[in-house]
Chains A and B, each alone.
Chain A
Amino acid sequence: MKILVAVKRVIDYNVKVRVKADHSDVDLTNVKMAINPFCEIAVEEAVRLKEKGVASEIVVVSLGTKESQEQIRTALALGADRGVLVQTDEKPGSLSVAKLLKAIVDEEKPDLVILGKQAIDSDNNQTGQMLAALAGMPQGTFASELTVEEGKAIVTREVDGGLQTVSLSLPAVVTTDLRLNEPRYASLPNIMKAKRKPLDVKTPEELGVEVISSLNTLKVEPPAERSAGIRVGSVDELIEKLKTEVKVI
Chain B
Amino acid sequence: MAILVVAEHDNAALGAATLNTVAAARQIGDDVHVLVAGSGCGSVAEAAAQVEGVSKVRVADNAAYEHQLAENVSLLVAELGKGYSHILSAACTSGKNYMPRVAALLDVDQISDIVRIDSADTFARPIYAGNAIATVQSTAAVKVITVRSTGFDPVAANGGNAAVEQLDSAHDAGISSFVSEEMAKSDRPELGGAEIVVSGGRGMGNGENFEILYKLADKLGAAVGASRAAVDAGFVPNDMQVGQTGKIVAPNLYVAIGISGAIQHLAGMKDSKVIVAINKDEEAPIFQVADYGLVADLFEAVPELEGKL
A residues engaging B (CB < 8 A)? 11, 13-14, 16-17, 19, 26, 93-95, 98, 117-118, 120-134, 136-139, 141-142, 144, 154, 157-169, 172, 177-179, 213-223, 226, 229-232, 234-236, 238-239, 241-242, 246, 248-249
12 contacts between A and B (CB under 8 A): A26-B131, A95-B103, A124-B110, A124-B112, A136-B175, A138-B176, A166-B178, A215-B136, A217-B136, A220-B132, A231-B292, A248-B274
Q: Which residue of B lies closest to A126 (CB)?
A: B100
**Residue contact A95 to B109, C-beta cutoff 8 Å:** yes
**Residue contact B128 to A11, C-beta cutoff 8 Å:** yes
Residue B137 CB within 8 A of the other chain: yes
Whole-angstrom distance between the Cβ of A156 and the nearest chain B Cβ: 9
A105 to B70, CA, bound (A): 20
Point out the residue from B94, B101, B126 that lies within 8 Å of A133, measured CB to CB: B101
Stretch of B21-29, B156-164, B200-208, B300-308 at the chain-chain interface:
B300-308
Stretch of B33-41, B50-58, B79-87, B238-246 at the chain-chain interface:
B238-246
Whole-angstrom distance between the Cβ of A158 and the nearest chain B Cβ: 6
Whole-angstrom distance between the Cβ of B26 and the nearest chain A Cβ: 23
A129 to B78, CA, bound (A): 14
**Residue contact B220 to A249, C-beta cutoff 8 Å:** yes
List of B residues within 8 angstroms of A216 by Cβ: 136-139
A141 to B94, CA, bound (A): 10
- Give residues 186-228 of B contacting A (CB, 8 Å): 192, 196, 220, 228
B173-191: CB near A (< 8 Å → 1, else 0) gives: 1011111111110000000
Tell me whether A129 and B291 are in contact in the complex, defined as CB-CB below 8 angstroms, given that A123-B113, A221-B133 are known contacts: no
**Residue contact B128 to A217, C-beta cutoff 8 Å:** no
**Residue contact A138 to B71, C-beta cutoff 8 Å:** yes
**Residue contact B132 to A141, C-beta cutoff 8 Å:** no
Chain B residues bordering chain A, tally (CB within 8 A): 87
Whole-angstrom distance between the Cβ of B232 and the nearest chain A Cβ: 7
**Residue contact A126 to B133, C-beta cutoff 8 Å:** no
Whole-angstrom distance between the Cβ of A164 and the nearest chain B Cβ: 4
Residue B294 CB within 8 A of the other chain: yes
List of A residues within 8 angstroms of B253 by Cβ: 242, 248-249
Pick the 4 closest A-B CB pairs, nearest first.
A129-B100, A133-B104, A126-B100, A162-B183
**Residue contact B134 to A166, C-beta cutoff 8 Å:** no
- Give residues 70-128 of B contacting A (CB, 8 Å): 70-71, 74, 92-94, 96-105, 107-113, 122, 126-128
**Residue contact B127 to A159, C-beta cutoff 8 Å:** no
Q: Which residue of A lies closest to B184 (CB)?
A: A162
**Residue contact B275 to A229, C-beta cutoff 8 Å:** yes
A11 to B132, CA, bound (A): 13
Whole-angstrom distance between the Cβ of B94 and the nearest chain A Cβ: 7
**Residue contact A242 to B276, C-beta cutoff 8 Å:** yes
Q: Which residue of B lies closest to A128 (CB)?
A: B100
List of B residues within 8 angstroms of A215 by Cβ: 109, 111, 136-140
